[in-house]
Each structure stands twice: as structure tokens, then as C-alpha cells.
Structure 1
């Protein structure tokens, strides 16, 4: 089990996926990739031959198809499903960020490219197995580079709704460009919010001001004047939560009346 601080200050324990389960999921994905390869490779070659393409074009198509199957398949699957390939779905696994949040394309493509080293460099997956055995959270090289962990996901992660922005800072927070807020810095802020009540007043103020200056520097915006660090940091994380978990669109009044 590992403790994650999910969303915006929700602590939850999730079981780490170990090598046997991950290996089974990998073999299922490999079967899907083999089927895709057996369909796409001959199909592309036949299609190019009908178009009168020379051997150079056919060789290029072969390389592109193999790369798309080996790397594009896991990257596309994990991006669209927020961390679950077909094999992981079957085994109840999910890739999550180091703070327990859902991954995006950046994490998926890092894991996919690193799979060349983890699985295909020696052709046996031995590197992934050895690195996972040496990691307390069973992380392979791709997980270490992407900052991700594979966990069992039979039970849904709780919706992170504990951070509520102060109304007077909502407008300021909605104008922020949050791409500069890294997962590591967001995790540090969440831990500060969780532990706020246990800190001494001096530490609350000093650590809070340090985090506010760091966060605002990363976001390239001056901190709003006259507000305590707790409100500013809460506003930033609540806005991050709102963008990561957008609420469902409201139905029109006439639709509600018909329903």
C-alpha cells in the first residue's frame, strides 16, 4: 500500500501494482499489439504496392507502423483513458501521477518512449523487472522519468473537493496559466494545506509565504496583496482541481422540466 494525496488535499491509500499483475497486463497489451501489427503491416505493404511505391517507401511504412504499434498504442490508450491500456483495464490497474492524480499526454509519452529501454532493448523486459524490484513502489524507468506509479484501481479514487477557493480570489485564479505548476510543487502545497492546522503560527506564515512566492514565480504572476498564504494557495489549487475535474455541463431548464 502507498499513501497518495489526491486531487486537492485528499489522502488515500492505494495498493501498488507489483510485477506479476503488471506482467499479465503487459502480455495482454502485447497480444493486442501483435494483432494490430499482423493487420497493419501487411495491409500497409499491400496498399503501397498497389500504388506502385518503391522499396524505400515500403521500408519507411514498415518502420512507422512498428513504431505506431509499439509506442503509439500505449501512449494513445493511456492518454485517452487517463492511465489505462486494455491490459490494465482487464487487470484493474491504472497509471497515476506521483500525487495520485490522473496522467496526461506528457506522462503517457514519457512512459511510452521509455518502454524502448524497459521492454525492447534486451527484448525480454528484464530491465523493467530489475528496476521495479529495486523500487519501493515497483516503478520502472518510464515511471521514474514520468513521475508516475501503477496502482490497483478496482475502487474509484475519491473526488477531490476539499479545497474551496475564497470568492474574492476566484477571478484572479481563473486568469492564471497553470502549466508552470509542476506536480511536485502542487504536492508540496497540498501537504502544507493538510498539515496547516498542526503547524505553529510562525511556520504557517514562513512556509506559506515561501510557497506563495515559489508558486507565483512559476506562474509568472505577482501574489495578490493583502491575503494570507492559505487563501492564495487554496485558490490556486482549487482552480487546478476545477480544470482537472470539470463539472458536467448544466442542462437547460426546459430539459430538466421534461425529465
Structure 2
């Protein structure tokens, strides 16, 4: 908000200096130019930035967030346009008060523009601290051998890993709420479902996916090692150059 407001203020000053030398211009024209300048700085500029950057802005870069569709895909002009137009009321009209209120009342902290456009803000900054690998919970060895655990979307897998790493830092109520929300998103990728609490399910899914991906990488490395002589060698009798 500060960046857009400052840019709009500077743009108004520049336009005012440009019109000083034209005293014959009527006051209605001045008012129209002023309104268009404010519209460009506070509405069109944010819409353009979000469209070009696929959901990023100065503020979102600062906090490591991005606006995405409800299905996790990148937003387009239509989504940015709806968000930008609604921002006139909920951001500039109420100084962000309405957006904060709606964010507190919606599951994914959506503001009015997000509800209308079908988008939400996703935290995507990866922590530089190495995440400790999850261990398969006790009693789920049999389930892990037969479970069909599909590959999770990148954003969902990152949020699950981050939650498991920081779960002990949350208050019990918030910890259970986040685990329940993430588990509902993970359920479509798991069959059969073990009869365990949400956080245990997340831990088990993360452990199974880690073990299977590690085995797949090990098999790939072994195949490449055995193919090494063929890939790096030359045909029999081919001159060495």
C-alpha cells in the first residue's frame, strides 16, 4: 500500500506540474485528470503487476507469498482484475480493515477479492533450515506396505513438511486445526485411509512418500551406474580421437 500510494502521489505531482502551464483548462478537466491518475496508481498498477508476475507484488515478495487459484494454479488477468477492483473498497476505502476482518473469518484468510475471484494467498518461501525427515508412526508398518500414496502437489507437500517441522511450536488448538485442514487436503491422495488422528496421518504420508522417492532415486542411480560403460564408451574398433 505504501509503495502504490507513494507512486500515485509522485504521479499526481508530475501531472500537476505538466498542467500548470495550461491555465485555460477548466476545473472539470483537472478533476478528471486527477481521478484518472489516482485510478492508474491505485487500481490499474496493482492489477498489471499481479498479472505480469503471476500473483506477486512488492508486499508479497517481502513476506514470501503468492496469490494462486483455489486449485493451486497461477492467476490470470481475470483474477487480478477482480481483486484489483474489489480492493478499491476493502483496501483503499477502509485502509485494509475490511480485508483483515474477512481474512480472520475465512478458512484460508481470504479477503473479498479472493472470495469473488476464487483465489487465496499461499506462503511459498522455503525455509533455509533443513527439515528433519519424518519417521513412520508406530503400528503403521503393515499399512505402509500396501498403501497407495500418490505424489502430493508441490505446494501441499511443502506445507505438510513445514507443519510437521514446526508442529511443537503451535498451541494445541491451533496445531489440531492446521493438522485437520491439511489432512482433508491430503485424503484424496491416500488409499486406504488408516484410522489415525490427522497429524499422525500427515506424518505417515510424508514418511511413505520420502521412503518411496528415496528408493526410486536409488534405483535410478543404480541403473545409470550399470549403463555407464555403454553411455560413456565407444563402439568396438572406433578410433580414439
Q: Following superposition of structure 1 onto structure 2, how do residues 229-244 of structure 1 map, counting pairs within 5 Å?
A: none
Aligned to 1:33: 4
Q: Alpha-carbon deviations, 1:206-256, whole Å to 9, x = none?
A: xxxxxxxxxxxxxxxxxxxxxxxxxxxxxxxxxxxxxxxxxxxxxxxxxxx
* Counterpart selection for 1:136 from 107, 128, 131: 107
Aligned to 1:116: 88
Task: Count residues in correspondence.
Answer: 135
Aligned to 1:62: 34
Runs of 4 or more consecutive aligned structure 1 residues displaced over 6 Å after TM superposition: none
2:19 equivalent to 1:48: yes
* Counterpart selection for 1:94 from 61, 66, 88: 66
Whether contact under 8 Å (2:5, 2:42) holds in the other structure is no
Aligned-partner Cα distance in 1 for 2:92–2:113: 13
Task: Report the CA distance between 1:57 and its aligned residue.
Answer: 1.6
Q: Alpha-carbon deviations, 1:148-177, whole Å to 9, x = none?
A: 01011214x849xxxxxxxxxxxxxxxxxx
2:49 equivalent to 1:77: yes
Give unmatched runs, 5+ long, in structure 2: 127-152, 156-184, 193-241
Give the secondary-structure state (helix, strand or coil) at the position aligned to 2:73: coil
Aligned-partner Cα distance in 2 for 1:84–1:69: 17
Q: Aligned-pair RMSD on alpha carbons?
A: 2.6
Whether contact under 8 Å (1:83, 1:95) holds in the other structure is yes
Q: Following superposition of structure 1 onto structure 2, how do residues 104-253 of structure 1 map, counting pairs within 5 Å?
A: 104-121=76-93, 123-155=94-126, 158=154
Aligned-partner Cα distance in 2 for 1:138–1:49: 46
Aligned-partner Cα distance in 1 for 2:78–2:55: 12
Q: Following superposition of structure 1 onto structure 2, how do residues 13-28 of structure 1 map, counting pairs within 5 Å?
A: none
Task: Report the CA distance between 1:106 and its aligned residue.
Answer: 0.4
Whether contact under 8 Å (2:90, 2:98) holds in the other structure is yes
Give unmatched runs, 5+ long, in structure 1: 1-29, 160-190, 199-259
Higher RCO by CA contacts (8 Å cutoff, separation 6 or greater): 1
Aligned-partner Cα distance in 1 for 2:154–2:123: 14
Aligned to 2:173: none
